[in-house]
Amino acid sequence: GENVEQHPSTLSVQEGDSAVIKCTYSDSASNYFPWYKQELGKRPQLIIDIRSNVGEKKDQRIAVTLNKTAKHFSLHITETQPEDSAVYFCAASTGGFKTIFGAGTRLFVKA
């Protein structure tokens, strides 16, 4: 089955700096890669996603890149703000939206 690895597990940045979180997946059939932000005790919120026919997608301060050959995808947050502090999960899906999650990255943005 699908396996998603995520790094780093913890990331601390200064406000205004960029943050990068990287994930790899194992199933070459995966074709949908969402990223979720989860605050303590709350549901995961979809922040951006990318499909396998696209290499990069950007939404304001957030961007995601996908390298299907290497089975890598990454989340980039620019101009980080304290409210960006949360746990971020990458995920991979092979369709039917059975989605497997990475272990999560705890992001701290220091003011």
Partner 1 sequence: GAVVSQHPSWVICKSGTSVKIECRSLDFQATTMFWYRQFPKQSLMLMATSNEGSKATYEQGVEKDKFLINHASLTLSTLTVTSAHPEDSSFYICSANGAEKLFFGSGTQLSVL
Closest by Cα among 48, 54, 44, 39 to 77: 48
- The answer to whether residue 46 forms part of the interface with partner 1 (CB under 8 A) is yes
Which residues are bridge partners to 32 per DSSP? 51, 93
- The answer to whether residue 99 forms part of the interface with partner 1 (CB under 8 A) is yes
Sign of CA dihedral 59, 11, 4, 97: negative
Which of 33, 37, 44, 86 is close enough to bind partner 1 by CB under 8 A? 44
Which amino acid type is present at position 35? W
Region of 23-31, 55-63, 68-76, 103-111 interacting with partner 1 (CB under 8 A): 103-111
Instruction: Tell me 53's DSSP state.
Output: T
- The answer to whether residue 60 forms part of the interface with partner 1 (CB under 8 A) is no
* Contacting positions for partner 1 (CB under 8 A): 34, 41-46, 49, 89, 93, 96-104, 106
